[in-house]
Amino acid sequence: MSFSLIVFQGPSASGKSTLQSLLGLPKVVTWTSRAPRPGEVNGRDYHFTTRAQLGEMFHSGLMIEMNEYKGNAYGTSVQSIRDIIEGGTPTSTVMEAKGAAAIKTMFPAQTLLVGVSVEKEQCRRRLQERGAAAEEIERRMADFEREMKELSQCDLIIRNSDDNLDKACSIIGILRQGLLHS
Ligand SMILES: Nc1nc2c(ncn2[C@@H]2O[C@H](COP(=O)(O)OP(=O)(O)O)[C@@H](O)[C@H]2O)c(=O)[nH]1
Ligand SMILES: Nc1ncnc2c1ncn2[C@@H]1O[C@H](COP(=O)(O)OP(=O)(O)O)[C@@H](O)[C@H]1O
């Protein structure tokens, strides 16, 4: 396996960040206009910024892609992806479907798109447990079916249901072995 960029894609609370952490590779820190959640750290979880600054960066050619998700803007810097492709050290990131497709189109041979699937009601419960407000939960659940369909663009799909975490961990373990020892 010669992939240098692993992109996790899936509905909100499907478990993208959980599987990304289990994979244990360096992470691309992307940019967002959304407010930090409790416990999130600027520069570690995201570069938190304003929509205006993100737009300026995009129009100055500093961003490889910028996409909208549930009323907030998200984007990946050109430099962060260039560093990975040139450096060759496997690195991971999480993205919504359009950004993931854009990166795959730009770097097809280096990018592995990993879809994360889950049942709708489990997803809703996880969002509730994460302490999201009811309105926020409904906003994030509104496109659940579409987001599940969009997983068809992925190279592989990991089912991360409540009863399947062990198997999901095993798949991530195999993936890690393959990425680090190829
Ligand atoms: N296109 C794109 N999507 C991103 C980027 N960074 C994060 N995302 C995606 O934006 C969506 C919302 O992320 P977030 O607000 O952290 O909520 P989450 O869905 O609970 O992880 C998720 O699908 C992320 O994978 C980025 O740089 N570009
Ligand atoms: N297989 C699983 N079974 C039960 N809970 C899970 C599982 N995977 C993730 N979670 C929990 O679901 C919540 C959302 O996971 P997270 O990785 O933050 O999702 P995402 O990054 O897709 O928004 C977290 O509280 C996480 O601990």
For residues 98 and 150, what is the distance between their CA atoms, to the nearest angstrom? 9
Does the ipTM surpass 0.90?
yes
The answer to whether the beta carbons of residues 100 and 9 sit under 8 Å apart is yes
Task: Name the H helices within the chain.
Answer: 16-23, 51-59, 78-87, 97-106, 120-129, 134-141, 144-149, 165-180
- Residue 18 near ligand 2, beta carbon < 6 Å: yes
For residue 66, report the distance from its CA to the centre of ligand 2, in Å: 25
Report which ligand 1 atom has the smallest distance to the Cα of 72: 15
- Residue 13 near ligand 2, beta carbon < 6 Å: yes
Q: What is the reported pLDDT for 1?
A: 58
The answer to whether the beta carbons of residues 43 and 149 sit under 8 Å apart is no
In three-state secondary structure terms, 81 is helix
Residue among 27, 62, 95, 154 to mutate when testing ligand 1 (max atoms within 8 A of CB)? 95
* Nearest alpha carbon, ligand 1 atom 8: 95
What is the assigned CATH class of domain 5-180?
alpha beta
Identify the H or E element spanning 73: strand 72-77
Q: Where are the domains of the chain?
A: 5-180
Return mean pLDDT, the chain: 94
Which residues, other chains included, contact 93 with Cβ-Cβ below 8 Å and sequence gap of 6+?
A: 5, 6, 7, 8, 20, 27, 28, 30, 76
Average pLDDT over residues 157-162: 98
Phi (first) and psi of residue 69, to 5 degrees = -145, 115
pLDDT tens-digit readout, 44-87: 999 999 999 999 999 999 999 999 998 999 999 999 988 888 88
For residue 78, report the distance from its CA to the centre of ligand 2, in Å: 29
Q: What pTM was computed for the model? A: 0.94
